[in-house]
Amino acid sequence: MSRPTSKTDLLEAGNTQFLKLEKLMQTLPDENQTFNFEVTEKMTEAHWQRDKNLRDVLIHLYEWHQLLLNWVKANQDGNLQPFLPAPYTWKSYGQMNQEFWEKHQSTPLAEAKRLFEASHQDVMTLADTFSNEELFTKKMFDWTGTTSLGAYFISAAPSHYDWAMKKLRKQIKANQ
């Protein structure tokens, strides 16, 4: 997938990657199974150890959707705030991800799916309210810093879906 550079590309990529992820989930041998792929020393990112099943992956996506939705709304309402809520920074957001994981350990898979599907729709609907210029002009909004608003949408949706599919493919391969 090439990185979207327009509103049309963003909406298409978000929905296309969402559908690919949904289709890939259907090929899991057992949606409730704990991931059993080997985690190697090259897999240094925390998520390889943290996310142990499909529910964990979907909840991670859902919570990042919530970060985006809440951040945009707050800033549009004049409550200027950074993307990551205090006390987190881009150097410490791993702890935030761990807290998302802990928060949802009793969330059933069916609920995780429902939350993810609804939040995906909310993200795409919100993206559609912005013009191409608003999404892809760097520094268009004070609250996006030096980047574009579209970059945040890309990170929270199609790029994050790619991450999820990589994990699910590892699980599918491990069960072949």
pLDDT band at 39 (very low <50, low <70, confident <90, very high): low
Residues of the chain with pLDDT > 70, as a percent, come to: 94
Long-range contacts of 118-121, Cβ-Cβ distance < 8 Å, separation of 24 or more: 119/61, 119/62, 119/65, 119/66, 119/69, 120/14, 120/18, 120/61, 120/65, 120/157
Task: Write the pLDDT tens digit of every residue in 99-130.
Answer: 999 999 999 999 999 999 999 999 999 999 99
Token pair 């590892």 is at which residue? 170
SS3 of 63, please?
helix
Answer whether residue 174 shows pLDDT above 90. Answer: no
Asked whether the whole model's pTM tops 0.75, one would answer yes
pLDDT at 170: 85
Distance separating alpha carbons of residues 82 and 105, to the nearest angstrom: 27
What tokens appear for 122 in the block? 């909310």
One-letter amino acid identity for 106? S
| Buried b / exposed e along 43-61 (16+ C-beta atoms within 10 A) | eeeebbebbebbbbbbbbb
Domain residue ranges of the chain, discontinuous segments joined by +: 7-27+53-174
Answer whether residue 37 shows pLDDT above 70. Answer: no
Distances in Å between the Cα of 163 and the Cα atoms of 18, 74, 99 are 12, 27, 19
pLDDT band at 43 (very low <50, low <70, confident <90, very high): low
Distance separating alpha carbons of residues 141 and 147, to the nearest angstrom: 9
The architecture that CATH gives domain 7-27+53-174 is Up-down Bundle (1.20)
Q: What is the mean pLDDT of residues 21-41?
A: 81
CB 174 within 8 A of CB 30: no
Answer whether residue 173 shows pLDDT above 90. Answer: no
Answer whether residue 74 shows pLDDT above 70. Answer: yes
Token pair 């041998």 is at which residue? 29
Cα 134 from chain centroid?
21
Q: What is the mean pLDDT of residues 42-53?
A: 71
pLDDT band at 79 (very low <50, low <70, confident <90, very high): very high
More confident residue, 28 or 78: 78
pLDDT at 50: 72
